[in-house]
């Protein structure tokens, strides 16, 4: 027995140490090894590995001569800030991290364990796709992963961390998860690589230009976060996990706040100009409102005209959706609608209350937006809010015009409370446009059309767009001092903490995807 134990210890030593040459090659690319990554993700000494001795059983095409333990993927669980988290991580040093039958079976088992245990799942992706030598068995392995990604969706948080290449069908697993992290220069995602693109279309492009971190964080919206190095990236994954519940039956972790719940926010009076046409940075408003000014912005660089962020108010996790007047005046367009809709769905799935900060002039007009389906895409955000049963509080800072006002979680689509600042303007459209439509004939017939138009605009604003018009009709619950916004939100969310809302019985809805 002692001999057997010694043999096992030797095998484990070889597995953990890896191949020196392959390790040096990994470091030369500016990349960490699989176990270095896991050490950064998990609390020290907490990781428990599963199926460390697993090997492939494929024969032919040279595979029979190379049967390394782990088969190129490390699977297991550990703790992140004391809470259980599952993870699988490709080992690029073994078969380039390519997925084969045994490799896939390990991932399938781990995903099943994560779902059963009700704990978050993190994938550290650094693989060369399907293992060609194993043929269709490798492709079937991906199918099993996709099926489990879908089954786990809205049940446990799923986070994909791209730390190397991810090409072909393999890219669909990250796309099915809740969050995608990428590292600049070393990680790429694409369905067809530069060589195929060149052969089919004649376009010349690099791997990073086609599917690098900045491309997906800013242009495609596939990546939610992009960082310069793996250490920072994995530290941010840990921070994100601290803001998420373990599963859809749990509440997000609560921390003891040091920031007073009743802290007045006098600076808000200076941050937001009264003139509705003047831009400002909504991020500064959010920083002023939330605990310690800290929040984690999701999709920071994609669809910048709307902000989505996870943060805390009085120690409780909340999700914030906010128009950004600094980008396209904060209008809603196709990308902004999709970004916000996806975030609202995430928060609703994982019991995270929603705060919506509104300063929106409408939907972006234009032939391109209409032809690309702004109606359908805008309806995604409308559907997401209408379907959400978590506590929902709307705050109208300045403008709230037209259909965009309705879509940004108004009382009419189910917000629990709507608060407004004294300078709010809730209307079908801006006063200028409204007056030109309503009083067109009077303006045209006047001796001085321009003077008449200005007077009618002034009258329209004073009668139909004054700050208390909506409150008088019950369209907002209260008009508040901007400096009291933080305390008002804390009180509202505390009252709604025991909210119990149910949707009609159904298999599922049919959202406008």
Indicate the helix (H) or strand (E) that contains 417: strand 417-420
Among 403, 414, 433, 494, which one carries the catalytic annotation?
403
Which residues share a beta bridge with 420? 396, 479
Whether 169 is catalytic is yes
**CA–CA gap between residue 216 and residue 189 (Å, rounded):** 8
In terms of C-beta distances under 8 Å and separation of at least 24 residues, what long-range contacts does 203-208 make, across chains too?
207/165
β-strands 73-80, 48-50 pairing: antiparallel
Return the DSSP state at 95.
Answer: G
DSSP secondary structure letters along 61-85: TTGGG---GGGGEEEEEEEETTEEE
* 3-class secondary structure per residue, 120-160: CEEEEECCCCECHHHCHHHHHHHHHHHHHHHHHCCCCCEEE
Question: For 269-353, where are the E strands, in sequence order?
Answer: 295-298, 306-313, 316-323
Active site residue 168: yes
Catalytic residue among 96, 118, 135, 168: 168
Q: Are strands 225-227 and 478-479 parallel, antiparallel or unpaired?
A: unpaired
> Any catalytic annotation for residue 404?
yes
Cα–Cα distance measured from residue 33 to residue 307, given in angstroms and rounded to the nearest whole number: 35
Residues paired with 394 in a beta bridge: 356, 418
- Three-state secondary structure along 225-260? EEECCHHHHHHHHHHHHHHCCCCCCCCCCCCCCCCC
For 463, other C-beta atoms within 10 Å of its C-beta total 9
- From the candidates 89, 98, 336, 404, give the one annotated as an active-site residue: 404
Helix (H) or strand (E) holding 89: strand 83-90
Are 354 and 380 a contacting pair, CB within 8 Å?
no
Q: Are 360 and 400 in contact (CB under 8 A)?
A: yes
Options 96, 154, 169, 193, the catalytic residue: 169
Catalytic residues, by residue number, are 168-169, 403-404
């Amino acid at each position: 027995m002692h001999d057997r134990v010694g043999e096992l210890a030797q095998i484990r030593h070889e597995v953990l140490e890896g191949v020196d040459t392959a390790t040096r090659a990994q470091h030369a690319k500016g990349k960490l090894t699989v176990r270095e990554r896991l050490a950064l993700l998990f609390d020290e000494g907490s990781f428990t590995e599963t199926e460390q001795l697993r090997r492939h059983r494929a024969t032919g095409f040279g595979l029979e001569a190379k049967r390394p333990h782990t088969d190129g993927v490390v699977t297991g669980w550990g703790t992140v800030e004391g809470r259980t988290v599952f993870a699988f991580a490709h080992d690029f040093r073994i078969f380039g991290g390519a997925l084969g039958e045994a490799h896939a079976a390990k991932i399938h088992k781990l995903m099943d364990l994560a779902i059963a245990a009700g704990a978050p799942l993190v994938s550290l992706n650094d693989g060369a796709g399907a293992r060609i030598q194993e043929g269709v068995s490798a492709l079937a392995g991906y199918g099993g992963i996709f099926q489990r990604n879908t089954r786990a969706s809205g049940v446990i948080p799923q986070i994909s961390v791209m730390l190397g290449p991810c090409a072909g069908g393999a890219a669909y697993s990250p796309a099915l998860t809740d969050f995608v992290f990428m590292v600049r220069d070393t990680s790429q995602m694409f369905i067809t690589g530069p060589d195929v693109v060149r052969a089919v279309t004649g376009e010349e492009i690099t791997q990073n230009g086609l599917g690098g971190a900045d491309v997906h964080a800013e242009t495609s919206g596939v990546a939610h976060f992009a960082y310069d190095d793996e250490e920072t990236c994995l530290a941010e994954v840990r921070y994100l996990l601290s803001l998420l519940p373990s599963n859809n039956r749990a509440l997000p972790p609560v921390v003891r706040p040091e920031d007073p719940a009743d802290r007045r926010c006098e600076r808000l009076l200076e941050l937001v100009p009264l003139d509705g046409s003047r831009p400002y940075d909504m991020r500064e408003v959010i920083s002023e409102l939330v605990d310690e000014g800290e929040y984690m912005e999701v999709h920071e660089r994609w669809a910048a005209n709307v902000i989505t962020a996870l943060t805390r108010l009085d120690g409780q996790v909340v999700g914030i959706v906010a128009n950004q007047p600094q980008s396209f005046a904060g209008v809603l367009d196709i990308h902004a609608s999709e970004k916000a809709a996806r975030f609202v769905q995430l928060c609703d799935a994982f019991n995270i209350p929603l705060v919506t900060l509104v300063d929106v002039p409408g939907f972006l007009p234009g032939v391109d937006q209409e032809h690309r389906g702004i109606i359908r895409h805008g309806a995604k955000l409308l559907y997401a809010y209408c379907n959400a049963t978590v506590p929902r509080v709307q705050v109208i800072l300045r403008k709230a015009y037209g259909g965009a006002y309705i879509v940004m979680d108004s009382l009419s689509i189910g917000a629990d409370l709507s608060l407004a600042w004294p300078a709010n303007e809730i209307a079908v459209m801006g006063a200028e446009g409204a007056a030109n439509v309503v009083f067109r004939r009077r303006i045209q017939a006047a001796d001085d059309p321009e003077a008449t138009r200005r007077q009618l605009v002034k009258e329209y604003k004073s009668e139909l767009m004054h700050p208390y018009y909506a409150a008088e009709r019950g369209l907002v619950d209260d008009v508040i001092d901007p400096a009291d916004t933080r305390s008002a939100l804390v009180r509202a969310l505390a009252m709604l903490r025991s909210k119990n809302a149910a949707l009609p019985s159904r298999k599922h809805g049919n959202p406008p995807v």
